[in-house]
Amino acid sequence: MRNKKAESLVVTGLILHIIQWIFVLWAFLKIKHLFSGYTIYNPNVINGSMQSLSFMQMLRSMMYSGALVNYVLFFVIALLMYCLVLHAIMIILEIAAYVMIRRNPSSSWAYFLTAAGVKLAIFNITGIPFLAAGFLLMKQKQAETGEKGPEPKRKPRTRIRRQGRRLNRNRRKSSLAVEYQKEKTI
């Protein structure tokens, strides 16, 4: 049985995640464009700037320039590159999860969607559709397999009834009648 709500939530999450990835790529290219010809600020040279031949040389010269501005820009560019790669991998895995869930809604890819939703929801809003879809699919899987949560504990037996029955019961005569009589006389 297909879960159309979960599928539409996954597609919504994918679209939001791709839009976010395009925005991060745009920000990366804008920052990279600021260094036209890979020119960076360097206070150690005469004209105050330095030009590199490639992107990697520009990053290396940012690290060795000794200027605080270049350190900040280097870490911003490195963070953007890390985000681009990480989100590209996540988008590919989310597409694979969507295809696998369309084939078999009770597959274990629901757990991946839930985990991806938690990871993305911590950082931004794109993870909420994945989180909701993962929970819907896990709930459907539990309903299909008949799994239940932990069984509630049994209530302990009440002693009140037993005591009442014992009080109403006829007492047996003790086999030690002699000792009983001695206690009565004392």
* Residues of the domain holding 91: 4-145
**Structural contact between residues 120 and 130, judged by C-beta atoms closer than 8 angstroms:** yes
Residue 17 lies in a domain: yes
Residue 94 lies in a domain: yes
What pTM did the predictor assign? 0.63
Q: Which residues does 1 contact at the CB level (< 8 Å), separation at least 6?
A: 105, 140, 144
Residue 117 lies in a domain: yes
pLDDT at 22: 92
Residue 128 lies in a domain: yes
Q: Which residues does 142 contact at the CB level (< 8 Å), separation at least 6?
A: 148
Annotate 67-92 with DSSP letters as a single string.
Answer: -HHHHHHHHHHHHHHHHHHHHHHHHH
Q: Which two tokens stand for residue 74?
A: 């280097």
**Structural contact between residues 110 and 130, judged by C-beta atoms closer than 8 angstroms:** no
Question: Is residue 67 exposed (0-12), middle (13-18) or buried (19+ Cβ within 10 Å)?
Answer: middle
Residue 181 lies in a domain: no
Q: Which residues does 110 contact at the CB level (< 8 Å), separation at least 6?
A: 6, 101, 133, 134, 137, 138, 141
Count of the separate structural domains present in the chain: 1
Task: Tell me the pLDDT of the chain (186 aa) as tens digits.
Answer: 577 888 888 888 889 889 988 998 898 888 878 777 677 777 777 777 778 888 888 888 888 887 888 888 889 889 888 988 988 998 898 888 888 888 887 778 888 888 888 878 877 777 888 888 888 888 887 777 766 656 677 776 666 555 555 555 555 555 555 555 556 665
Residue 50 lies in a domain: yes
Residue 172 lies in a domain: no
